[in-house]
Homo-oligomer: A and B are copies of this chain.
Amino acid sequence: MKARVFVTLKPGVLDPQGAAIGAALGGMGFDGVAGIRQGKVFDIELDAPDETTARESLDAMCRRLLANTVIEDYSIEIA
C-alpha cells in the first residue's frame, strides 16, 4: 500500500528556510510570491491488511518519529 505523509510547520511557527527561498525567488524576478513555507513529504510503501490499519500505523509513526507535534502538523494520504 502506498501512502504519502506531509509534515508542515504549524501556522505561526517561524519558517526561516521558507523566508530565505521567498527572498531568493523575489531576487530572481518572481514578483508574485506572497508567501512560501517549506515542509517535508514522505512516500511510504507499507505492508498493511487494510486502510484503517495502515492509517493507524502511519499516525503512530508521525507522532513518534516523523513529526515534531509541538511545532509541526501532519497529514496522511493513502493511495
A25 at the interface (CB under 8 A from B): yes
> Is the Cβ of A37 less than 8 Å from the Cβ of B42?
yes
> Is the Cβ of B30 less than 8 Å from the Cβ of A57?
yes
- Chain A window 63-75, contacts with chain B (Cβ cutoff 8 Å), 1 for yes, 0 for no: 0111000000000
Report A17 CB to chain B, min CB distance, Å. 10
Report A50 CB to chain B, min CB distance, Å. 12
Q: What residues of chain A have their CB less than 8 Å away from a CB belonging to chain B? A: 6, 8, 18, 21, 24-25, 28, 30-48, 54, 57, 60-61, 64-66
Nearest 10 pairs between A and B by C-beta?
A: A35-B45, A32-B47, A34-B45, A39-B41, A41-B41, A37-B43, A36-B44, A32-B46, A32-B48, A38-B42
